[in-house]
Every structure is written in C-alpha cells, then in structure tokens.
Structure 1
C-alpha cells in the first residue's frame, strides 16, 4: 500500500495480529496519513500490531508521536503494538527513551512469538 510518496508498506493479517512492513520516511509529511490508515486498521482488528520498521530510512519527532498514539489506540481496544527497528530507527527511539513503551523486538518472528 502506498501511504504517501515517501512512505510505503504492506499489510499481512494473521489470526491474532496484523503485520505492517514499512519502507521510506516516517516524518511530518507522512505522519497524518500513517496515523489515519493505521488507526483504521487497529479498529478493524485484529488489534495486535507488529510494525516492521527495518525498511524505514528516517523517523522524526512527528513519526515518533504517531507511534506513541498508535500504541495508545491499540491499548484502548485491548491490543498491543510491537516494533521491529533497524539501527537508525533504534537510535532515534532510544534517544527519547521510548524503547520499552514501543516494545522493541529484534525480529518479526520474535514479535509473533511474544504474542503467544
């Protein structure tokens, strides 16, 4: 799915979760669309979300804010969000001390296992 010119992704729905694999930029430009689309998918369910951000080249404060809002939205509907990050995204997340809040995982497989 093309969220914006700078942010693309795929969505895989499994019995107990949705896996989003995103590439590009999660920034002020793509954040409104990202937030709108992902919120809709959380509401549709399943409400356990795994975000594979290993293909993200850049995330800014707007992108981090959208991730925080997504976690809160998922919790509101009894779900979870886990994030798989590359070193660049990981560094940004750790800089603002959100690694625990965003439930960082080293791989999609680890995140899926963690659901059980």
Structure 2
C-alpha cells in the first residue's frame, strides 16, 4: 500500500505517526516535509475533502499567528490560500493512502487508513 505523510520532523506527533508507518509491513512510504515543499491549494482541498475536514478543522492556531491574522474567522478559501502561502498554518501530520486521508492527531488515527 502506498502512503504519503506530510511531515514536520520538529513535531512529536508527526514523528510518532511516521514511526507507525515505517513499522507497518507493506507500506510504500513517501515523506513530504511540507515546510520545505509546501502544499498547493488544490492539494489541500483534495486532502481535506478525503479526510472529511473543513479548512478550519485543519488550521493550526497554536504556535502561529493565524488567529491574529483573522484566519479563525475567515472563509474557507482564505484559509486555504493562507495555508498554501504559509504551510505552518496546516495542522500536522496529514497522511494519505488509497483508503483516504487523515489528520493524525493523535497518531493512532493513521491506523484507520492502513
């Protein structure tokens, strides 16, 4: 099974999710460090749709200036545009497989799509 993780190595939950993926037999894993290789707006829309999330569900407020910039109350398109321009605004990690996508907080959520 192919799996892609949008990963931040500085995040403990992201590292734990990555470890689950690496320890699971039969996983063909792609790791994207999204702070170095940002999301596109279209990819974010697709991931959120596949995970059943709204842009606000995946908006990272802690450790960012997203709330100060008004993103908490902005419309979904504005949130996605901000996330594409500033990938730190995306909560992490997101994992995608052929079974769907999940925001893996907590990390064990990844097992739903393996």
Q: Do both proteins adopt the same fold according to a TM-score greater than 0.5, normalized to the shorter chain?
A: no
Higher strand share: 1
TM-score (norm: length of structure 1): 0.25
| Structure ID, larger Rg | 2
Q: TM-score, normalised by structure 2?
A: 0.25
